[in-house]
Amino acid sequence: MALRSRRIDITEQSRPVLARHAKLKFDKARQVWVILVPERVLAPDEIAVEILQLCDGVRTVDQIIDGLAAKYTADRGEIGTDVIAMLKDLADKGFLAEAQDRKS
Amino acid sequence: MSPTLTDASPVHADPTDGLAVLEQRKSQAETFGIPLAVLAEVTHRCPLQCPYCSNPVELEGGGTELSTDEWKRVLSELADIGVLQIHFSGGEPTARKDLEELIRHATDVGLYTNLITSAVLLTKNKLAVLADAGLCHVQISFQGSESGVADRVAGLKDAHARKIEAAHWARELRLPLTVNAVMHRQNLFQLPDIIQLAVDLDADRLEVANVQYYGWALKNRAALMPTIAQIDETSRIVEEATERLKGILAIDYVVPDYYALRPKKCMGGWGRQFFNISPSGKILPCHAAETITGLEFESVRDHSIAWIWQNSDAFNRYRGTGWMPDPCQSCEFKEVDYGGCRCQAFALTGNAGNTDPACAKSSVHDSIFKTAMSESEGDSRRFIYRNFAGGTLENDPHEA
């Protein structure tokens, strides 16, 4: 639907980055990572932070999953499901963009 | 592994709640940690004259406003003490010529910036400059679904058309957009069209906010108070639209508390998770707090913000639950709503320390409710427009 063109679908081939209006930041005062979005502050856990830091617009979701599976010597299928679920959740809220869409 | 994203903000019953939120855990809230978000009312000057304006009836003139350097110092200080988001509001924040510089500075010190605007002073170029300075989000107010009603409420010709134009620019610049619609008896019939307008404008979020009755709105209550039938219909419309537009438009809805049985948790509790800064630099527990006479508010010109947050008598007076008289003190909901709204208690009973009359347990709840009901059924339509002269009565349309 053209109206919602900025809402992206997440597949293993996506190269997601945080949208311009979603900022991942370490909150020094509270010593926690936060994602700042309009009217809200989200508190991602450590793994979510690690995934988002890998969303640099160069890596595909596929590569991100490979990297995490290798690092944690974990089942690729399980990791893939979790990573995609988290990214989909963020994308549905409008907080992720495709790399080429991003206005630098 | 199961990555999770916990929402640090509560479900907001009141959009002002969503502006500033502490961590949810109660033990932390009790320490009155610095709010996550702060409202900066950078000026009271505004080209609009909305009769329900949330600014105090006694507006601060342009000459008393903080200078550019003072605001920049304030923004740095906010970032230092742990504030994460800053909402530039007013009056009309774009009436300040240095807004670009303030947004750029806020961005430089790491604050997430939100512009709360009437949009009528914007040009596409001005908005682009603000976006380049780092602006993260725009909220535009609408007074109706079409110019007939909207321009009359705003007290400004062509206001509605300019807002529509500005909303398009915001989306062209890829700025996320919230449409804010303040609702009352004389525009509630347009709600379905306002919801459609927000969809057509490609907004991310719509705030349907019923007028809250202090200051200017209290002066205009007889012309603004919705009927019970209207409120029932509104709730139905919002519920239906929320379901239908899931994933397309997020809708936040604020019920008018006159028609509630329990008071709202105003500001998340007095001095718990919110403050705003007035144009002259006063730190206030809520934007209407100056309507309460007898409270003194400290200025950023005299103290650090952290000091004021911890030590200001105005903040400490109604913090927590210790100040509460009965029926609040013995009420099982005292830590749910913190006694409701201090400004409303003052406006309607003359004592800010009384139970908010919106609560059914207040001894004056029934009489106030009845007054409001009879006002809502009355035929008073003329507005007292908000201005620096203390208000101007709208011309009688029948005499025009």
Q: Do B112 and A27 touch (CB under 8 A)?
A: no
- pLDDT band for A100, please (50, 70, 90 cuts): low
CA nearest B79: which of A44, A28, A35, A40?
A28
B63 touches chain A (CB under 8 A): no
**Chain A residues near residue B176 by CB distance under 8 angstroms:** 19, 21, 38, 94
In words, the CATH class of domain A2-100 is: mainly alpha
Q: pLDDT tens digits for B76-89? A: 999 999 999 999 99
Nearest chain B residue to A28 by CA: give it: B82
- The full set of domain ranges for chain A reads 2-100
CA dihedral B35, B36, B42, B44 (to 10 degrees): -60
- pLDDT band for B9, please (50, 70, 90 cuts): very low
Say what percent of chain B tops pLDDT 70: 91
- Under 8 Å between Cβ of B162 and B140: no
CA nearest B324: which of B342, B347, B343?
B342
Residue from the list A38, A44, A45 with its beta carbon closest to the beta carbon of B176: A38
Nearest chain A residue to B207 by CA: give it: A39
Determine the distance in angstroms separating the CA of B102 from the nearest CA of chain A, rounded to an integer: 18
Compute φ and ψ for A74, nearest 5 degrees: -115, 170
Determine the distance in angstroms separating the CA of A54 from the nearest CA of chain B, rounded to an integer: 14
The residues, ordered by sequence, that sit 6+ positions from B104 with a Cβ below 8 Å of its Cβ are B133, B134
Question: What is the ipTM, given to two decimal places?
Answer: 0.83
Look at residue B2 and tell me whether its pLDDT is greater than 60: no
In this prediction, residue A93 carries a pLDDT of 78
Q: What is the pTM of this model?
A: 0.88
Q: pLDDT tens digits for A12-53? A: 899 999 988 899 999 988 888 999 988 888 888 888 899 999
Distances (CA, A) of B373 to B132, B295, B378, B391: 48, 31, 9, 25
In this prediction, residue B98 carries a pLDDT of 97
Average model confidence (pLDDT) across chain A: 84
**Chain B residues near residue A78 by CB distance under 8 angstroms:** 1
Q: What is the pLDDT averaged over residues B98-107?
A: 98
Q: What is the pLDDT averaged over residues B95-100?
A: 97
Q: Do B8 and A6 touch (CB under 8 A)?
A: no
**Chain A residues near residue B199 by CB distance under 8 angstroms:** 3
In this prediction, residue B23 carries a pLDDT of 38
Residue from the list B15, B82, B178 with its beta carbon closest to the beta carbon of A30: B82
B72 touches chain A (CB under 8 A): no
In this prediction, residue A19 carries a pLDDT of 85
Determine the distance in angstroms separating the CA of A17 from the nearest CA of chain B, rounded to an integer: 15
- pLDDT band for B5, please (50, 70, 90 cuts): low
**Chain B residues near residue A44 by CB distance under 8 angstroms:** 3-6
Q: What is the pLDDT averaged over residues B328-338?
A: 91
Look at residue A5 and tell me whether its pLDDT is greater than 70: no
Say what percent of chain B tops pLDDT 90: 70
CA distance B225 to B374: 9
CA nearest A88: which of A3, A12, A4, A2?
A12
In this prediction, residue B32 carries a pLDDT of 61
Look at residue B26 and tell me whether its pLDDT is greater than 60: no
Look at residue B282 and tell me whether its pLDDT is greater than 80: yes
B11 touches chain A (CB under 8 A): no
CA distance B14 to B99: 27
- pLDDT band for B4, please (50, 70, 90 cuts): low
Q: pLDDT tens digits for B115-139? A: 999 999 999 999 999 999 999 999 9
